[in-house]
Amino acid sequence: MATSKSVFSLLLTLNAFSLLFVPHDCIDANSLKVCKFDGIYNLGDSFSDTGNFIIENPAVPSAHFPYGKTFKKATGRCSNGLLMIDYIDCVEKLKTGLFMVGEIGGNDYNYPLIQGKTFEEVRSLVPKVVKAIKDAVTRVIGYGAVRVVVPGNFPIGCLPIYLTILHTNNSAHYDEFHCLKGLNTLSTYHNDQLKQAIGDLIKENPNAVIVYGDYYNAFQSVYHNAAHLGFDAASVQKSCCGVGGAYDFTLENMCGGPDVPVCPNPDERISWDGIHMTQKAYQNMANWIINDILSKLNCKD
């Protein structure tokens, strides 16, 4: 499959050691105060980049409107507004640091999938990807990190980009929520391998607290409860910024391109541009993640 240059620009975003302080309410992140973090550092891709990549390449779509629509200006975030990491890092300085090593791995699967590689070919990459993540966590702990969260991958079979490019009329390829089973199985396989690697890391680093960040189920919680959370149930699989097809997404004319429309209310959509999520989706996922990891971080008041 021919690869769209704009797809690579959207996916190839690296967020390395970013100290984040943003002016917003922390929502459920207030519960993290018990951990007394003085900063949160995130290593990851475009799902967590708060503006580093545009410093290197200001031509990428996320450097320009309509990205940042909620802010009324583009910030380099691949969304209409804030990301999950923005909600997990509160404004207040506390006393220690939390390291988020991920989400990592998505792009390693995105590129070959977009190029038309089979699920089996992409699945064979998982052990190498997981080893690279494990090595990254080991290095971060070696630098002195004490508490580390290692997020897994999202259920990519529910994303508009893949629902579009891998569309099939064979209903057996979809689950009851109309997500592609094969892709979600790939994500689950990655996450299972990652959890095993985290188990090894815990044994190898008894003085560090290492926690799995369950992005898969955080997304599914929002996805399956979309109507209750205020999303438009009829548009749960459609992009807010995009055009064409059943999912308001086409590779040839993506968000940020000429004449690509933006939905009137991004808060009614889960997907922002077919790949990344909206601010409201990230906010709800962040709340789920915070509630899930808090007790596992072993913080004491």
Q: What is the pLDDT of residues 28-44, one digit of tens each?
A: 455 556 666 666 666 66
Which residue range(s) make up the domain with 98?
5-215
Q: Take residue 293 and report the two structure tokens written for it.
A: 């990891």
Number of domains in the chain: 1
More confidently predicted of 80 and 266: 266
Task: Note if 276 is an active site residue.
Answer: yes
More confidently predicted of 147 and 262: 262
Backbone angles phi, psi at 165, to 5 degrees: -75, -20
pLDDT of residue 143: 79
Residue 102 inside a domain? The answer is yes
Backbone angles phi, psi at 2, to 5 degrees: -65, 145
With 0-12 / 13-18 / 19 or more C-beta atoms within 10 angstroms meaning exposed / middle / buried, residue 22 is middle
Whether omega for the bond prior to residue 66 falls within 30 degrees of 0, making it cis, is yes
Residue 296 inside a domain? The answer is no
Strand (E) or helix (H) holding 111: helix 106-114
Residue 203 inside a domain? The answer is yes
Annotated catalytic residue, options 46, 187, 221, 271: 46
Residue 207 inside a domain? The answer is yes
Residue 113 inside a domain? The answer is yes
End-to-end CA distance of the chain: 54
Residue 233 inside a domain? The answer is no
pLDDT of residue 83: 74
- The answer to whether the CB of 23 falls within 8 A of the CB of 78 is no
pTM: 0.78
67-122 pLDDT per residue, tens: 888 777 888 888 887 776 666 574 333 236 788 898 888 889 999 999 999 999 99
Annotated catalytic residue, options 9, 18, 248, 276: 276
More confidently predicted of 58 and 28: 58
Residue 151 inside a domain? The answer is yes
179-198 pLDDT per residue, tens: 999 999 999 999 999 999 99
Assign 140 a pLDDT band (cuts: 50, 70, 90): confident
Neighbours of 7 (CB within 10 A): 18
230-252 pLDDT per residue, tens: 999 999 999 999 999 999 999 99
Residue 177 inside a domain? The answer is yes
